[in-house]
């Protein structure tokens, strides 16, 4: 995972570079929650490199949304990968997170 913070405007940019699966869920959870601190106004989470997401990964995103609401900052999910889009569509979660999902023209859904 890569993180880029700009403390001036309170926006934190994180990019997940791993799969969001049960195999690395605990490490991802610790890393993601460590960035939920005072002074953060917005957390932007780039999901473009997530090749696989399972229920554990989805639970992490749901937990992060809850933490954002409880701690008073905005969570923005950006650049959803095909794997993330498929799960969101299957479970009708796009509206829950509220972020625009852009489906690339090159994505060939079977």
What CATH superfamily classification does 2-97 receive? Answer: STAS domain (3.30.750.24)
Evaluate if residue 54 carries a pLDDT over 90. yes
What pLDDT was estimated at residue 11?
A: 84
Of 63-67, 76-80, 83-87, 95-99, minimum mean pLDDT range: 95-99
CA–CA separation, 40 and 63 (whole Å): 17
Domain map (residue ranges) of the chain: 2-97
Structure-model confidence comparison of residues 52 and 4, the more confident one: 52
Evaluate if residue 88 carries a pLDDT over 70. yes
| pLDDT tens by residue, 3-34 | 555 556 778 888 898 899 999 999 999 988 88
């Amino acid at each position: 995972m890569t993180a880029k913070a700009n403390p001036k405007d309170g926006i934190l940019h994180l990019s997940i570079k791993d799969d969001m699966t049960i195999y690395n869920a605990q490490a991802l959870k610790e890393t993601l929650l460590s960035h939920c601190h005072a002074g953060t106004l917005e957390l932007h989470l780039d999901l473009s490199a997530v090749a696989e997401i399972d229920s554990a990964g989805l639970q992490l995103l749901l937990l992060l949304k809850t933490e954002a609401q409880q701690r008073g900052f905005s969570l923005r999910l950006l650049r959803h990968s095909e794997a993330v889009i498929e799960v969101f569509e299957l479970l009708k979660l796009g509206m829950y997170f509220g972020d625009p999902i852009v489906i690339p023209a090159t994505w060939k859904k079977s």
